[in-house]
C-alpha cells in the first residue's frame, strides 16, 4: 500500500530475484523504489548478468517480496493434523481438526513446516513406524537445524501456546489448545540471525 487505505497483493517472487535478494545484507530502507547494488557478485556472475541485459541492482520492493517468501518457507508452520493429505496426493484443510491437547501443544514434534517436505525421505522405517501418512507428511520442527532454534512457551496458564523462532527473530506462532485457532505473525527487521549456532 502506498497510502495505507488501498491494499494490493504482492507479486510472486521470481527464482533469480529470490537468490539475489538472499545475498543482500542490512536492514530495509522503507522506500519501495530504493535500489540496492550487488556488492558481493562474482566477476563471472556480473558479466553474465550484464550480457543478459540485467542490471546489477534490485529494488527494495523485490527484496521485500523475496524476504517474505523466504520467511514463509523457513518458519511458516502449522499444528499436526491441521491439514490432511489424500491418497491421491492433494492437501486439504482438515475439517475434523479440533486442536492439540495442552500436552501435545507443548511438544515441538506437534508442529510442522507448511512447505514441501525435504527431510522425510531420509527417515528410517523404524522412525516412520508410528506415523499416519495422512497427517505426518510434512517436516517436523524437532529436526530443525540448528537444534534449539525454537522456543515453546505456554501463556495464560496454558490457555495459549506460543512458539518463537530464534533463527528469524520476530516470528511468533500461537495455538489455542483444544480449538482450531492458530496462526503466525512476523514483526522483525527481515534479517536472519546467522549467529544463532554460536549463541546456542
What is the span of the domain harbouring residue 68? 15-74
| Average pLDDT over every residue of 68-97 | 88
- DSSP code string of 51-109: HTT--SEEEHHHHHHHHHHHHHHHH-EEETTSEEE-TTS-EEE-TT-----HHHHT-GG
The SS3 of residue 121 is helix
Question: Into how many domains does the chain fold?
Answer: 2
Q: Are residues 31 and 108 in the same domain?
A: no
Distance CA 134, CA 89 (A): 9
Question: Which contiguous run of DSSP H or E holds residue 175?
Answer: strand 171-175
Residue 193 in domain: yes
pLDDT band of 62, cuts 50, 70, 90:
confident
pLDDT band of 50, cuts 50, 70, 90:
low
Residue 1 in domain: no
Predicted local confidence at residue 184, as pLDDT = 92
Q: Are residues 95 and 137 in the same domain?
A: yes
Q: CA geometry: angle at 114 spanning 58 and 121, to 5°? A: 105
Residue 88 in domain: yes
Q: Are residues 188 and 122 in the same domain?
A: yes
Domain closes at, from 55, 74, 93? 74
Predicted local confidence at residue 121, as pLDDT = 61
Indicate the average pLDDT of the chain: 82
How many residues appear in the chain? 200
The SS3 of residue 152 is strand
Predicted local confidence at residue 126, as pLDDT = 57
Predicted local confidence at residue 178, as pLDDT = 93
Q: Are residues 134 and 161 in the same domain?
A: yes
* pTM beyond cutoff 0.85: no
Question: Which contiguous run of DSSP H or E holds residue 164?
Answer: strand 160-165
pLDDT band of 135, cuts 50, 70, 90:
confident
Q: Are residues 59 and 120 in the same domain?
A: no
State pLDDT tens for residues 93-113: 888 889 899 999 998 988 988
Distance CA 57, CA 24 (A): 11
- pLDDT higher than 90, residue 26: no
**Cell numbers linked to 4:** 495505507
Distance, CA of 98 to chain centre: 24
- pLDDT higher than 60, residue 39: no
Percent of the chain with pLDDT over 90: 20
Amino acid at each position: 500500500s502506498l497510502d495505507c487505505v488501498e491494499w494490493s497483493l504482492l507479486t510472486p517472487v521470481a527464482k533469480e530475484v529470490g537468490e539475489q535478494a538472499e545475498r543482500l545484507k542490512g536492514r530495509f530502507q522503507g522506500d519501495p523504489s530504493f535500489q540496492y547494488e550487488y556488492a558481493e557478485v562474482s566477476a563471472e556472475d556480473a558479466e553474465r548478468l550484464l550480457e543478459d541485459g540485467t542490471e546489477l541492482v534490485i529494488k527494495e520492493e523485490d527484496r521485500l517480496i523475496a524476504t517474505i517468501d523466504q520467511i514463509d518457507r523457513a518458519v511458516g508452520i502449522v499444528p499436526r493434523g491441521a491439514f490432511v493429505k489424500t491418497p491421491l496426493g492433494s492437501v486439504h484443510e482438515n475439517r475434523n481438526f479440533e486442536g492439540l491437547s495442552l500436552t501435545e501443544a507443548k511438544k515441538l514434534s506437534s508442529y510442522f513446516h507448511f512447505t514441501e517436505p525435504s527431510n522425510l525421505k531420509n527417515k528410517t522405517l523404524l522412525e516412520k513406524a508410528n506415523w499416519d501418512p495422512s497427517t505426518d507428511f510434512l517436516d517436523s520442527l524437532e529436526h530443525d537445524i540448528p537444534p534449539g532454534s525454537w522456543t515453546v512457551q505456554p501463556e495464560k496458564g496454558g490457555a495459549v501456546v506460543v512458539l518463537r523462532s530464534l533463527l528469524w527473530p520476530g516470528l511468533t506462532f500461537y495455538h489455542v489448545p483444544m480449538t482450531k485457532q492458530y496462526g503466525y505473525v512476523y514483526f522483525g527487521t527481515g534479517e536472519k540471525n546467522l549467529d544463532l549456532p554460536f549463541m546456542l
